């Protein structure tokens, strides 16, 4: 009993001590509060500044670390365990599959003994077209060993601007030019192969496929005067022309219906791919034929 | 009090130094040195691994470094790719030596903070003259979905079945997105009392207000647009909110012509400097 009483007293004493402590600290805090009222603004300011400094420190550290990590990621993963043959082979298959997937980004490549061979794939509206390669040798300065880029694409210009300072930009820029060229070529090829019936003469085109000239009739049998179209693609990274002129020879200048048609054709060539414009001409032609029958 | 004042001064000095270390956020194409360096490093490793490529482990290492390189080069990190092939050649076609194959692809990965999952089909038709391949179906799922500027572009890519344009534009879009976020954050930190990001640093607008000039507000809207050809470019607009009285006093119609002048300013100074000069002009007295 005595033991419990003693401990009970001990607890009481402890509680009393706590009580006095609390009331003392209350008094202290009241005094402090008045002092703090004066220094309140300063304290909050320090608190804010400390937080800002910590955030900035973290940001700078993070920046430096991410640069380092990028370079570190590039080094081989040296902790690859020596698993069974199967596990390794499965991993190999996986990696090969992912490498293959890069072709679909338009930019892919293989490491070579001297550097890297980058493969640029081109496409136009879902149609996968030609691929081109650029073989880069890693030396100072970075050098193009050989390539399959057509001679009329300004490769040297693009390389002079970006190759030494920013490989990524060099390749993406080259990608733009090659994709646009591929797209223009595709449109011209489709026009020649699919809509030869509507053309009244050969399609004239330059190797870069940025200057096209042709004559056509909407209604091959009937319409007496063909339209003459000239398409100029000044922007080599675009697949739509910048300047279009459509003329209709042998027609009186005052004829408004011809003028309307002519103007609408100009707009069409500016806004839609070439072969699609002709596809719509062909469809209209079919409708006309039907009306003749009925 | 003195000790605290001293601490305030010390903190301010440290903050200024840290800011300098964080200053000049790089423009989209300026993180080039990272690519150049990794280029060198991979080549270095590759030279060593090149000699004994028959070994399975070495082969894996070689391919993994290739993967690493491509990931850094394109800015796109592909994590998974699976493919199924279906032969659709009928006996009729075989007689004419035409072969038709359908490939079903599924791939997923990320480009910085954007993750994507693609499912697409490629139809290959091989006849005597040539092989033609076309994407016949394309489905794209992207996260996060709050990048509203991207969703329009994604539907256009799906419609046109333009895989390459999707990846190319995604790469450039994300670079611009990150650059815009960094710039807004940087300006907010530099001018905390003048710059307001009411929709967060990832949004497209930033407000400039000054306590000493209540009623005035400048809103910068910085959109990242993707055009028909998949080209990505920024478009900045300035909106002004000005008290009626100020409008009446504005004989030179500076406020009316502000949006146009702003565009010119951006063209001359570049985005960051133009934004900063706007902030400084509205908050001239507070600028320490």
Would you call B18 and A180 a contact, using CB atoms and an 8 Å cutoff?
no
Question: Please, what is the average pLDDT of chain A?
Answer: 81
Q: What is the pTM of this model?
A: 0.67
Which residues, listed in sequence order, are joined to residue A246 by a DSSP beta bridge?
Answer: A229
The per-residue pLDDT for A153 is: 93
Predicted confidence (pLDDT) per residue in A158-194, tens digit: 999 999 888 888 998 899 899 999 999 999 999 999 8
Looking at per-residue confidence, does A77 or A100 come out higher?
A100
Lowest mean pLDDT, pick from A142-156, B14-28, B168-182: B14-28
Of the two residues B130 and B288, the one the predictor is more confident about is B130
B78 to chain A, any CB pair closer than 8 A? The answer is yes
Say if residue B56's pLDDT is above 90: no
Alpha helices in chain A (DSSP H): 2-74, 85-101, 155-158, 167-194, 256-271, 274-293
**Chain B interface, best mutation among A35, A42, A102, by max B CB count within 10 A:** A102
User: What are the residue ranges spanned by the domains of chain B?
Assistant: 180-283
- The rounded distance, in Å, linking the Cα atoms of A130 and A182 is 7
Per residue in A22-57, pLDDT (tens digit) is: 777 777 777 666 666 666 778 888 888 888 888 888
Residue of A nearest to B8 (CA): A46
Q: What is the mean pLDDT of residues B226-236?
A: 85
- CB within 8 Å of chain A, chain B residues 266-285: none
Pair A97, B83: CB distance under 8 Å: yes
Say yes or no for a CB contact (<8 Å) between A56 and B80: no
The C-alpha atoms of residue A166 and residue A170 are separated, in whole angstroms, by: 6
**pLDDT value for A267:** 93
Residue pLDDT, tens place only, A74-91: 544 444 444 467 777 888
Asked if A238 has any chain B CB less than 8 Å from its own CB, the reply is yes
pLDDT tops 90 at residue B143: no
Q: pLDDT: is B144 or B50 the higher one?
A: B144
Using a pLDDT cut of 90, give the percent of chain B over it.
Answer: 18
CB pairs < 8 Å spanning A and B: 209
Q: Assess B87–A contact: CB distance below 8 Å, yes or no.
A: no
| Inter-chain CB proximity B11 and A53 less than 8 Å | yes
A89 at interface of B, judged by CB pairs closer than 8 A: yes
pLDDT score of A243 more than 90: yes
Average pLDDT (B107-132) is: 89
Q: B37 and A105: CB-CB below 8 Å?
A: no
Q: Select, from the ranges A98-102, A258-262, B197-201, B247-251, the one with the highest average predicted confidence (pLDDT).
A: A98-102
Residue A17 is predicted with a pLDDT of: 74
Determine whether the interchain pair A239/B72 forms a contact, defined as Cβ–Cβ distance below 8 Å: no
Q: Do A105 and B167 touch (CB under 8 A)?
A: yes
pLDDT at A75 (0 to 100) = 46
Residue A132: its pLDDT value, please?
Answer: 95
pLDDT attached to residue A231: 95
Give the residue with greater pLDDT, B90 vs A69. B90
Tell me whether residues A123 and B163 touch, CB distance under 8 A: yes
Q: Measure the CA dihedral B40/B43/B49/B51, to 10°.
A: -130
Give the chain A residue whose CA is nearest to the CA of B64. Answer: A95
* Average pLDDT, integer, range A193-202: 89
Chain B interface includes A45 (CB < 8 A): yes
Q: Which of A232-236, B11-15, B146-150 has the lowest mean pLDDT?
A: B146-150
Interface of B with A in 151-180 (CB under 8 A): 160-165, 167-168, 171-172
Check whether B212 has a pLDDT greater than 90: no
Q: Two tokens at B193?
A: 């009392």
Q: Rounded mean pLDDT of A235-263?
A: 83
Q: Which of A105, A116, A126 sits opposite B135 (nearest CB)?
A: A126
B271-282 vs B163-190: helix crossing angle, rounded to 10: 30
For B145, what's the count of Cα atoms within 13 Å in the CB-facing half-sphere? 4
- Contact B195/A at CB under 8 A: no
**What are the tens digits of pLDDT across the range A34-43?**
666 666 778 8
**Contact (CB<8Å) B8/A111:** no
pLDDT at A136: 92
pLDDT confidence band for A254 (50 / 70 / 90): low
Interface of B with A in 220-259 (CB under 8 A): 228-229, 231
* Distance from the Cα of residue B252 to its chain's centroid: 39
On chain A, the residues whose CB falls within 8 A of the CB of B57 are: 80, 82, 88
Q: How far is B7 from chain A (nearest CA, A)?
A: 7
Asked whether residue B23 carries a pLDDT value surpassing 70, the answer given is no
Classify residue A201 by its DSSP letter: S
Q: Are B81 and B74 in contact (CB under 8 A)?
A: no
Residue A75: both structure tokens together: 């080094």
- Tell me what the mean pLDDT of segment A199-215 comes to: 93
Instruction: Check residue B53 and give its pLDDT.
Output: 40
Q: How large is the average pLDDT for residues B41-49?
A: 59
- Is A234 part of the contact surface with chain B (CB cutoff 8 Å)? no
Which chain B residue has the Cα nearest residue A101? B81
**Could A39 and B4 be called an inter-chain contact, meaning their C-beta atoms sit closer than 8 Å?**
yes
Contact A49 B11 (CB under 8 A): yes
pLDDT of A11 > 80? The answer is: no
Measured between CB atoms, which of B21, B29, B134 is closest to A127? B134
Report the pLDDT value the prediction gives residue A160, as an integer from 0 to 100: 93
User: What is the per-residue pLDDT for B48?
Assistant: 54
Q: B258: distance to nearest CA of chain A, Å?
A: 31
């Amino acid at each position: 009993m005595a033991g419990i009483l003693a401990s009970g007293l001990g607890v009481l004493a402890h509680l009393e001590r706590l009580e006095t402590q609390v009331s003392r600290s209350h008094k202290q805090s009241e005094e402090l509060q008045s002092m703090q009222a004066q220094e309140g603004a300063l304290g909050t300011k320090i608190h804010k500044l400390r937080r800002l400094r910590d955030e900035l420190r973290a940001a700078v550290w993070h920046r430096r670390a991410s640069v380092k990590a990028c370079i570190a990621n590039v080094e081989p993963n040296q902790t690859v365990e020596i698993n069974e043959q199967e596990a390794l082979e499965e991993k190999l298959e996986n990696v090969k599959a992912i490498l293959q997937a890069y072709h679909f980004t338009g930019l892919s490549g293989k490491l070579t003994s001297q550097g890297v061979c980058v493969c640029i794939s081109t496409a136009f509206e879902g149609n996968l077209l030609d691929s081109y390669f650029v073989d880069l040798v890693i030396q100072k300065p970075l050098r193009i060993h050989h390539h399959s880029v057509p001679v009329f694409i300004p490769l040297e210009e693009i390389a002079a601007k970006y190759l030494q300072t920013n490989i990524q930009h060099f390749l993406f820029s080259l990608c733009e030019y090659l994709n646009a060229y591929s797209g223009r070529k595709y449109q011209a090829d489709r026009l020649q192969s699919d809509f030869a019936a509507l053309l009244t003469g050969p399609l004239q085109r330059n190797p870069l496929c940025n200057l096209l000239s042709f004559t056509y009739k909407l209604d091959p049998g009937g319409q007496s005067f063909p339209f003459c179209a000239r398409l100029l693609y000044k922007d080599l990274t675009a697949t739509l022309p910048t300047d279009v002129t459509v003329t209709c020879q042998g027609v009186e200048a005052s004829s408004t219906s011809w003028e309307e048609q002519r103007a609408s054709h100009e707009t069409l060539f500016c806004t839609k791919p070439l072969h699609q414009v002709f596809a719509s001409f062909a469809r209209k032609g079919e409708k006309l034929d039907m009306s003749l029958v009925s | 009090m003195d000790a605290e004042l001293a601490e305030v001064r010390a903190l301010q000095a440290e903050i200024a130094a840290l800011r300098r270390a964080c200053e000049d956020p790089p423009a989209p194409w300026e993180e080039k040195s990272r690519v150049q360096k990794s280029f060198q490093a991979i080549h270095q490793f590759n030279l060593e691994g090149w000699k004994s490529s028959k070994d399975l482990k070495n082969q894996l290492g070689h391919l993994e470094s290739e993967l690493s390189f491509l990931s850094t080069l394109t800015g796109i990190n592909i994590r998974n790719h699976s493919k199924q092939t279906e032969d659709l050649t009928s006996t009729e076609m075989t007689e004419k030596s035409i072969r038709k194959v359908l490939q079903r692809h599924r791939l997923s990965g990320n480009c910085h903070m954007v993750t994507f999952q693609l499912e697409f089909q490629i139809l290959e038709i091989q006849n005597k003259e040539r092989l033609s391949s076309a994407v016949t179906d394309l489905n794209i799922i992207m996260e996060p979905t709050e990048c509203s500027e991207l969703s329009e572009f994604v539907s256009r890519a799906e419609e046109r079945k333009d895989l390459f344009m999707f990846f190319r534009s995604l790469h450039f879009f994300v670079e611009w997105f990150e650059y815009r976020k960094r710039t807004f954050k940087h300006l907010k930190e530099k001018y905390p009392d003048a710059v307001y990001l009411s929709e967060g640093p990832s949004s497209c607008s930033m407000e400039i207000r000054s306590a000493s000039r209540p009623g005035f507000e400048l809103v910068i809207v910085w959109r990242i647009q993707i055009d028909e050809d998949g080209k990505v470019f920024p478009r900045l607009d300035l909106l002004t909110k000005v008290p009626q009285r100020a409008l009446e006093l504005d004989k030179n119609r500076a406020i009316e012509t502000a949006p146009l002048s702003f565009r010119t300013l951006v063209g001359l100074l570049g985005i960051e400097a133009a934004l900063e000069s706007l902030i400084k002009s509205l908050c001239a007295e507070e600028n320490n």
